Structure 1
Amino acid sequence: MSDQDNNLPVIDLQSSEYYINRELSHLQFNIRVLEQALDESHPILDRLFFLCIFSKNLDEFYEVRVANLTQQLAFAREQAGADGMHPQQVLSEVHNLCSVTVERQYEILNNTLLPALKEQDIHFLRRAEWNDEQRIWVRSYFDDNIQPLISPIGLDPSHPFPRLVNKSLNFIVALEGKDAFGRETGLAIIPAPRSLPRTVRLPDELTSGGDCFIFLSSMIHEYADELFPGMTIKGCYQFRVTRNADLDIDHDDTADLATALEDELHSRNFGEEMRLEVADNCPEELTDFLLNQFNLEQTDLYRVNGPVNLGRLIEVIGQISRPDLQYPPFTPGLPKNINFKKSIFESIRFRDTLLLHPFESFTPVVDLLREAAKDANVRAIKQTLYRTGAKSEIVNALVDAARNGKEVTVVIELRARFDEEENLYLANRLQEAGAVVVYGVVGYKTHAKMMLIVRKEGTKYKRYVHLGTGNYHAGNARAYTDYSFLTCDDSIGEDVHKVFQQLTGMGEALRIKKLFHAPFTLHKRLIQMIDREAAHAQAGKPALIRLKANGLTEPKVIRALYRASQAGAKVDLIIRGQCCLRPGIMGVSDNIRVRSIIGRFLEHTRVFYFLNDGNDEIYAASADLMERNLLRRVETAFPIEFPKLKERMKDELEIYMLDNCQAWDLQPDGTYVRAQPGANEPMIKAQAVLLEKLAASAS
């Protein structure tokens, strides 16, 4: 069955009209995050949290994605993706969309969140609102904590415009008069001390109850004139610049990756300028001056009605003791098949274990490694680390294992973006303990989440394995949804052993039985399984594909999904972030549904399900459906074969498809529409359902 057989025009699935631009799709995800700040089903402090996360996401978007587009233009390396958009066109649309969205962000802050917080007796006091006692306290705080750290910089030929740190808070000051040396500069820059918090909590005795905060910027504004004695301040305006923060390491010219990375980290704070944010009341001549200093255009300028870095507002949430204004705490569930009074090895030998964090605890993973570190029968431990955390229990256990004489090998990905410095520290700590530390494969980030424990049992060695969709980070395991899989399956253990061999040694790709791994087999096998489902549909058999990931951008995978849809297979895609596939196009993707779930927890699981003519297959993976994951990273996808665990994962995917409160459905034009329950339908929130089903308690 084909278009030619029906005398219909041939559909070119490579046509750019069938693809959404990746960067614009990324921005749509950030907009969905921002919309959570307006969702009254979230507690008010969690709504503030979403606003802050949007700000942090947008910072990173400029530091990495906009920086990449800008460099393409600067070095004449323009690359149009499957969507066919030229980088200049993408940048133009990015600026237009960001301009509208940032303005909306500050409207939400000023007109919705701050008034709602005020109703709950949480106040952010402007200078005009300070009473006499508060003003005296602020004056003392400025004298004791701020003024000793400030170095105002008057601009003149001997004091050129300073090199300002990426995303740092600064002020441009218009001056009148002459200083002690007779200089009449007219302009000065005040860099705010980076060591100080951006919001300061007033002591309780200075408030009439509740929580009161004052912005650091307000304090500096109030007393800026004292930094320029004898001169008159005509205006003082906050600003910050966002820079290119993506590291550029030439692997072909690097003998030592760790040393090269350390050198590159020093320059991250001073990359090329990408964006300028200024107070909305800053005069045009001053914004023009700043744009000229940073070599930016008017399209790179954002005038904001409030603090220039809303991401730092996240600091106040931890200072407010109001559990009634946040989601209630919960105790993650523990698997019934693991007997914590006995050996975890014994429990894993009895049955494979599947955990869905944060609804179920990450503790069994940590406890397994702790037990391995002390177990006299454990001979070797191999582990990958991508994002782990500075105070990692996982790293503590690996250090103990190495000190206890185990053969500990750790593959640390030094290039995990914005965690590079922390990973260098962890690498040094592990090496000092006696572990063998390697940095993966040059040119390929090691993103796979694997732990292999080799234990002597009788006269033979037994391999115990943990595979996951998320990082070995206990904090993330309380905020991200991720699967953990514990098994001692011989074939999987052998496969993981071979992947570690490839990471630490050299040689040809080894034959692997059960795992799919990038960059060798995962991409190819995914497309084969999608095409197999299409063949079943074409033969008149039921066909279903369900894929859950954080991003879908790889063109060949998208084309395979289009072919499956054309053949009649049902395709359900749960894609949290970027999705370049256009659903709902007649004759191309009318059998494809794409939804994004945005809720209390960050959706992070990667699951691939295929009906396969009743012999269904399901895989969990470390990889997203993106070019970088499938072609330029070391990733693993692992099968879930135990029938009860397969049924469980299928049920959990179904819950996401039934969500009618926190799901957003992708439209053919690239926009998203929030799902709404029908008049007689029950409200279904996937995360709430899973929390009630899996957690030990939700209060």
Structure 2
Amino acid sequence: MPVVVRGAGLAVGGLARVTLTILWQVSRVPDCLAVCGELFPGLPKSETTTMTFPYVSKEISWLHFNARVLQEAADPQVPLMERLKFLGIFSSNLDEFFRVRVATLHRLVKIRKKAIDLIGQDPVDLLDQIQQLVLHQSRQFETLFDELCGQLAASGVLLRRENELSPAQQAFVLDYFHQQVRPFLVPLMLNRKTAPLVKDHQIYLAVVLGRGGGEPDYALIQIPADRVSRFLLLPAAPGQTEIILLDDIIRLALADIFCYFDYDCFAAYTVKLTRDSELDMDDERFKTFPQKIQDGLARRKTGKPVRFVYDRSMPEAFLQRLRKVLHITNVETCIPGGRYHNFKDFMAFPQLPLQQAQYPPFSPQPHPQLLPGRSIIDQIRERDLLCFFPYQRFAHFIDLLREAAIDPRVTTIRLTAYRLARNSQIVNALVNAAQNGKKVFVVMELQARFDEEANLYWSDRLREDGVEVVHGLPDLKVHAKLCLITRHEGRKKVRYAAIGTGNFNEGTARLYTDHLLLTADPRLTGEVHRVFELFANKYRIPLFRHLVVSPFQARNKFRRLIQNEIRQAQAGKPSFIDIKLNNLSDPEMVRLLYRASAAGVRIRLIVRSMFSLVPQLAGLSDNIEAISIVDRFLEHSRFFIFANGGKPVYFIASGDWLPRNFDRRVEVATPIYAPQLQQQLRDCFDLQWQDNCKARLWDEGLTNRFRPRGANEAPVRSQMAFIARYAAPAAEPPQDQGGCA
């Protein structure tokens, strides 16, 4: 059940903060209403004068999002190979959850009493809830994997263990082992006094080495999946595919690895250690910011263990020995699992010629108003354009940078970089511009979690090629997605801007849904220029009249927009709020949305992951409906539509509604002024709201129920409908909105 929290607004350094304290768990709706009287006039008064409202822990709501990923893996209508990928996505998601969210909760346990005031719940209780949910989902995961292996076998694809190989296959695998795998193996013997350094995010074989009937020895062997493919195709009969995992290749070769000794019995169990990956940086005054990042990355390697996953068939005595050697003192961090871990590797499972085992091929389409053979800059000058990825080509933005790099009238290019592709074409275009004499200025965020090392590399690479690189603002992570091109046209400087919801990353642009506004509107481009001036002159906070910029005025702006809808509803005028986000857990925004619902504002929310609001509670959130869509692409776009007294206002944004996005990051939301682009956002929201194939309901019980479809209601799968819509000629919009796969 969701929890009721007490909220008190505090002003700290001019930025709003909310402190939460747990009161009790909601067991009946009337109890919930009774404690909300101070917030909602007309509702029953509470005996307490403290403001209270239902609030779901963001960690718990996130775990239910990951359960929706598991639902996709379980869905027989999803192609078989895609179901394996969803298992990989689930595993990868859970790894990051433990490295970040669970690690933070373990830190809060050390200040348990203060933590209750900070997060509104006892971190020990929350960790217990997380443990129970994770164990339940792990059992579901293992059952699903066994089921999918059975379906693969029925399709002629067999996963072979080391003891299931024919003599010819054994010889093939051992030859492969010696040629490709053995050079990367360094066994760590566990009978020494010093503890081995077990790497985060890697899997190991914990090996029992027997010798006659004597006392066994023990060793750890890292499985080098970062150097060698996790999967090996075996020689097999015609019409059949056989695959062995790298784990089992090493199991087969254990006698060869330890041939120098007289061991005659071997057993191996997969284990995995997850460490606290929060980046700790010291306050050394004489170190540069990049040096502090590098030192923090070094300390991350020895972070405190927050999860130890092990093969449940491991003997108890060996498990206890491992825990002692690896200094795993908290039994709650130990999670039993199956024979294999690190299923993220299954996202790169070998491509197999199975019919209908994968989604149909998909290619992003050209934007209908960006004509080939014409200057992109000229076309942006004529009208604002809104690109929708991955349905439309991200290459348009790369082509814009390439054009600017060689345009003799372009003088400067400025860009914020958060996560770049591994072989970034964005970087290549910026380097080309610098080599052509343009002034190129990049704000590189070094604290982009798990991309810190890559961003240090890109910073050095760009500087070497003449690009000016800065690292944002002190104590603020730069998450805004901005690009600004300045061009001399006659006697004027004309600016062109790209303002987006997602990273400038051609890799994720094929997997994530995002919007990117291309504009020459001076109201917007002038303020984008001010944002970049803020990075160059860190102590001057500019005034923004159009852009909504965190941490300076975003909280106040969205507060006023919600309050305006409340006033409209109270006056009997039409009012609504339509929001699409990845995460919505900011306590103040949750409280304001409850107030708006109680006032009669119709609120529709499409929220993918963290969601702390409880919809459809009688008398409190009756007017709030919320769904989450999980499908082929990761829903990542963020936008807002407010009725605004009959003159709707539209925004796209780089940030979610979490405290960090309002208060501790530089985020930018831009208004969408062009009526045709407003209509595109309206159509996008309405189509997703109609989804009755991949939309799940957010409800009080966090049940992950699929939105029900009426007997005569046509199936609508919004992502497939977008693929059809953008692939169709502009003059002939598709009639079929896409069915359930």
**When the two structures are superposed, what TM-score results if normalisation uses the length of structure 1?**
0.94
- Cα separation, 1, equivalents of 2:43 and 2:225: 68
Deviates more, 1:678-687 or 1:253-262: 253-262
2:292 matched to 1:260?
yes
Aligned to 2:349: 316
Deviation at 1:361, TM superposition (A): 1.2
Structure 1 residues 114-162: Cα deviation after superposition (integer angstroms, max 9, x where no partner):
11222232221122321121111112222333334333333334x5331
- Cα separation, 2, equivalents of 1:82 and 1:559: 17
2:248 matched to 1:218?
yes
* Aligned AA (1:217): D
2:223 matched to 1:192?
yes
Could you tell me which of 157, 173, 196 is aligned with 1:162? 196
Query: Is the 1:125–1:212 contact (alpha carbons within 8 Å) kept by the matching residues of 2?
Result: yes
- Cα separation, 1, equivalents of 2:47 and 2:618: 11
Equivalent runs, 1:170-569 vs 2, <5 Å: 170-177=204-211, 186-193=217-224, 195-197=226-228, 199-203=230-234, 205-228=235-258, 229-233=261-265, 235-250=267-282, 253=285, 255-293=287-325, 294-317=327-350, 319-320=351-352, 322=354, 324-569=356-601
Structure 1 residues 428-478: Cα deviation after superposition (integer angstroms, max 9, x where no partner):
111111111000011111000001000000111100011100000011111
SS across alignment from 1:79:
helix
Aligned to 1:115: 150
- Cα separation, 2, equivalents of 1:500 and 1:210: 58
Structure 1 residues 286-334: Cα deviation after superposition (integer angstroms, max 9, x where no partner):
11222233324332222222312211222224x4355742111223222
Aligned to 1:93: 129
* Aligned AA (2:660): R
RMSD of aligned C-alpha atoms?
2.4
* Aligned AA (2:209): L
Structure 1 residues 160-218: Cα deviation after superposition (integer angstroms, max 9, x where no partner):
33111113222223334499xxx966323333335443533225x54433432111211
* Aligned AA (2:104): N
Structure 1 residues 88-114: Cα deviation after superposition (integer angstroms, max 9, x where no partner):
01000001110110111011001x211
- Cα separation, 1, equivalents of 2:117 and 2:711: 42
SS across alignment from 2:301:
helix
Segments of 5+ residues of structure 2 without an aligned counterpart are: 1-36
Aligned to 1:29: 65
- Cα separation, 1, equivalents of 2:40 and 2:407: 66
Query: Is the 1:576–1:596 contact (alpha carbons within 8 Å) kept by the matching residues of 2?
Result: yes
- Cα separation, 2, equivalents of 1:130 and 1:487: 61
Aligned to 2:162: 127
Structure 1 residues 609-632: Cα deviation after superposition (integer angstroms, max 9, x where no partner):
101121000100001011111110
Aligned to 1:602: 634
SS across alignment from 2:273:
strand
Deviates more, 1:1-10 or 1:32-41: 1-10
- Cα separation, 2, equivalents of 1:40 and 1:194: 29
Query: Is the 2:181–2:228 contact (alpha carbons within 8 Å) kept by the matching residues of 1?
Result: no
Aligned to 2:28: none
Query: Is the 1:237–1:282 contact (alpha carbons within 8 Å) kept by the matching residues of 2?
Result: yes
Query: Is the 2:473–2:538 contact (alpha carbons within 8 Å) kept by the matching residues of 1?
Result: no
SS across alignment from 1:335:
coil
Structure 1 residues 562-583: Cα deviation after superposition (integer angstroms, max 9, x where no partner):
1100100001111000001111
Aligned to 1:39: 75
Query: Is the 2:160–2:242 contact (alpha carbons within 8 Å) kept by the matching residues of 1?
Result: yes
Aligned to 2:29: none
* Aligned AA (2:91): S
Aligned to 1:144: 179
Q: CA separation of 1:160/1:185 partners in 2, compared to 1, >3 Å: closer, same or farther?
A: farther
SS across alignment from 2:367:
coil
Aligned to 1:105: 141
Equivalent runs, 1:572-591 vs 2, <5 Å: 572-591=604-623
Structure 1 residues 34-87: Cα deviation after superposition (integer angstroms, max 9, x where no partner):
110011222111111111000000001111111111111135575237873210
SS across alignment from 1:325:
coil
Query: Is the 1:453–1:465 contact (alpha carbons within 8 Å) kept by the matching residues of 2?
Result: yes
- Cα separation, 1, equivalents of 2:543 and 2:584: 27
Deviation at 1:258, TM superposition (A): 1.1
Identity of aligned residues (%): 34
Q: CA separation of 1:592/1:305 partners in 2, compared to 1, >3 Å: closer, same or farther?
A: same
Structure 1 residues 528-553: Cα deviation after superposition (integer angstroms, max 9, x where no partner):
10110011001111110011110001
Query: Is the 2:208–2:216 contact (alpha carbons within 8 Å) kept by the matching residues of 1?
Result: no
Equivalent runs, 1:603-642 vs 2, <5 Å: 603-642=635-674
SS across alignment from 1:396:
helix
SS across alignment from 1:18:
strand
Q: CA separation of 1:150/1:333 partners in 2, compared to 1, >3 Å: closer, same or farther?
A: closer
Deviates more, 1:135-144 or 1:253-262: 253-262
- Cα separation, 2, equivalents of 1:283 and 1:220: 20
* Aligned AA (2:348): E
- Cα separation, 1, equivalents of 2:42 and 2:556: 30
Deviation at 1:348, TM superposition (A): 0.8
Structure 1 residues 227-267: Cα deviation after superposition (integer angstroms, max 9, x where no partner):
33312335322211111122112467474111221222233
Query: Is the 2:39–2:595 contact (alpha carbons within 8 Å) kept by the matching residues of 1?
Result: no
Q: CA separation of 1:375/1:520 partners in 2, compared to 1, >3 Å: closer, same or farther?
A: same
> How many residue pairs align between the two structures?
692
SS across alignment from 1:563:
helix
- Cα separation, 1, equivalents of 2:711 and 2:329: 51
Aligned to 2:88: 52
* Aligned AA (1:209): G
Deviates more, 1:561-570 or 1:9-18: 9-18
SS across alignment from 2:243:
strand
Deviates more, 1:92-101 or 1:120-129: 120-129
SS across alignment from 2:253:
helix
SS across alignment from 2:220:
strand
Query: Is the 1:78–1:86 contact (alpha carbons within 8 Å) kept by the matching residues of 2?
Result: no
- Cα separation, 2, equivalents of 1:612 and 1:28: 33
Segments of 5+ residues of structure 1 without an aligned counterpart are: none
* Aligned AA (1:334): P
Query: Is the 2:269–2:339 contact (alpha carbons within 8 Å) kept by the matching residues of 1?
Result: no
* Aligned AA (1:107): T
Query: Is the 1:518–1:634 contact (alpha carbons within 8 Å) kept by the matching residues of 2?
Result: yes
Structure 1 residues 319-366: Cα deviation after superposition (integer angstroms, max 9, x where no partner):
435574211122322222222212111111111101111111112211
SS across alignment from 2:684:
helix
* Aligned AA (2:110): A
- Cα separation, 2, equivalents of 1:482 and 1:463: 23
- Cα separation, 1, equivalents of 2:108 and 2:56: 20
Q: CA separation of 1:472/1:5 partners in 2, compared to 1, >3 Å: closer, same or farther?
A: closer
* Aligned AA (1:56): S
Deviates more, 1:490-499 or 1:9-18: 9-18
SS across alignment from 1:239:
strand
Query: Is the 2:67–2:137 contact (alpha carbons within 8 Å) kept by the matching residues of 1?
Result: yes
2:97 matched to 1:66?
no
